[in-house]
């Protein structure tokens, strides 16, 4: 993954494709990612209307406001998903990125990549690992397409598939496997939203746990959660300063490793340093 595509992904929020008037409010919510929803949040009878309205949102030029825009399509193994893809391919102004739910194997992603390439669309991809089959194939999925920018962990569906409680400890292995797969492919990895709107402390604890496990962000189900999520996933001023220094040292040295404060630092850490700087630039820090 090239450094030019590194960006903050500390928080994301869904906005319904059926209600395009809510899109500007979501963009102003402070979330790093706004995802227009066509999948679980839309009733089957409303999916055609939601699809048409979502595609129409991108007919106008989008502001350069630092917010990443994504459309969550339906699964490619369903008729609704194939209809979503046909609508994207038919558009001359497609969404900048698509979120693929319930991905089970790399073939699904490769198929969509091939279709987008044939059409000439530069649309990026985000994949959700929320099935047992997807968890098993997570490492292959993470590496199957250069269009993929991030992996998302879908805890609700995963818990149902694994027949376990939707809680931190029962899902720790699954979360860790997704983090491992994403890190190995140089992708960002984002955790499932915390569903209890009235438990702000619980959400913050869950976000800290996810951050410490290796996630770079977490979803929100309401705008009031976003500020706390951004705070948890924003590096400290000291960490930002260190990242800028490491980047500068590598640029000056033009080698595969440098020594800073007596510690050997190798080039693979640069991606994380650039991600930290991207966050700092987004929030105007450091």
In tens, the pLDDT along 15-51 reads: 999 999 999 999 999 999 999 999 999 999 999 999 9
Residues 168 and 238: their CA atoms lie apart, in Å, by 30
Stronger pLDDT, 285 or 131, i.e. the higher one: 131
The answer, yes or no, to whether residue 254 has pLDDT greater than 80, is no
Tokens found for residue 154: 């879908």
Q: Distances from the Cα of 254 to the Cαs of 111, 246, 247, 259, 269, in angstroms?
A: 38, 12, 10, 13, 14
At 5, is the pLDDT very low, low, confident or very high (cuts 50, 70, 90)?
low
Q: Is pLDDT of 285 > 90?
A: no
The Cα–Cα gap between 215 and 3 comes to 18
Predicted confidence (pLDDT) at residue 266 exceeds the cutoff of 90: no
* Distance (Å, whole) CA 100 – CA 81: 9
Q: How many whole angstroms separate alpha carbon 23 and alpha carbon 16?
A: 8
pLDDT at 1 over 80: no
Q: What is the mean pLDDT of the chain?
A: 94
Contact 14, 41 (CB under 8 A): yes
- Which of 90-94, 116-120, 168-172, 280-284 shows the lowest per-residue confidence on average (mean pLDDT)? 280-284
Q: Is the pTM of the predicted complex or chain greater than 0.85?
A: yes
What b/e string do you get for 189-221 counting C-beta neighbours within 10 Å, with b at 16 or more?
A: bbbbbbeeeeeeeebbebbebbbeeebbbbbbe
Q: What is the rounded average pLDDT of the residues 140-165?
A: 97
The rounded radius of gyration (Å) of the Cα atoms in the chain is: 19
Q: Is residue 137 within 8 Å of 105, Cβ to Cβ?
A: yes
Cα–Cα distance, 139 to 199 (Å, whole number): 33
Where residue 4 falls among pLDDT bands split at 50, 70, 90? Answer: very low
- For the chain, the 3-state helix, strand and coil shares in percent, each to the nearest 5, are 50, 15, 35
Q: Which two tokens stand for residue 209?
A: 């746990």
- Rounded to an integer, what distance in angstroms lies between the CA atom of residue 217 and that of residue 135? 19
d(CA 180, CA 165): 22
Q: How far apart are CA 43 and CA 187, in angstroms?
A: 31
State yes or no: pLDDT of 256 exceeds 50.
Answer: yes
* Cα–Cα distance, 216 to 233 (Å, whole number): 6
Question: How far is residue 140's CA from residue 156's CA, in Å, rounded to a whole number?
Answer: 22
Query: Which backbone phi and psi does 77 adopt, to 5 degrees?
Result: -90, 5
pLDDT above 90 (res 252): no
- Lowest mean pLDDT of 163-177, 180-194, 249-263, name the range: 249-263
What's residue 271's pLDDT? 83
Q: What is the pLDDT of residues 89-127, one digit of tens each?
A: 999 999 999 999 999 999 999 999 999 999 999 999 999
């Amino acid at each position: 993954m090239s450094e030019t595509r590194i960006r903050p992904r500390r928080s994301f929020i869904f906005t319904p494709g059926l209600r395009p008037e809510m899109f500007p409010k979501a963009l102003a919510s402070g979330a790093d990612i706004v995802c227009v929803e066509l999948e679980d949040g839309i009733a089957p009878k409303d999916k055609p209307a939601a699809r048409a309205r979502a595609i129409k949102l991108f007919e106008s030029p989008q502001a350069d406001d630092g917010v990443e825009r994504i459309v969550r399509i339906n699964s490619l193994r369903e008729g609704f998903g194939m209809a979503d893809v046909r609508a994207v391919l038919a558009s001359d102004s497609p969404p900048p990125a698509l979120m693929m739910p319930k991905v089970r194997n790399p073939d699904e992603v490769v198929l969509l990549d091939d279709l987008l390439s044939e059409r000439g669309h530069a649309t990026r991809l985000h994949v959700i690992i929320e099935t047992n089959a997807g968890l098993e194939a997570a490492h292959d999925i993470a590496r199957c397409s250069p269009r993929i920018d991030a992996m998302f962990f879908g805890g609700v569906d995963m818990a149902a598939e694994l027949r376990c409680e939707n809680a931190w400890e029962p899902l720790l292995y699954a979360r860790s496997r997704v983090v491992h797969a994403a890190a190995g492919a140089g992708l960002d990895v984002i955790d499932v939203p915390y569903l209890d709107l009235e438990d702000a402390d619980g959400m913050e604890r869950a976000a800290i746990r996810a951050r410490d496990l290796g996630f770079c962000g977490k979803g929100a189900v309401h705008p009031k959660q976003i500020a706390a999520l951004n705070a948890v996933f924003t590096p400290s001023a000291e960490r930002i300063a260190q990242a800028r220094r490491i980047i500068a040292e590598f640029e000056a040295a033009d080698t595969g490793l440098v020594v800073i404060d007596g510690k050997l630092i190798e080039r693979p850490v640069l991606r994380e340093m650039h991600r930290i700087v991207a966050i700092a630039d987004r929030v105007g820090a450091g």
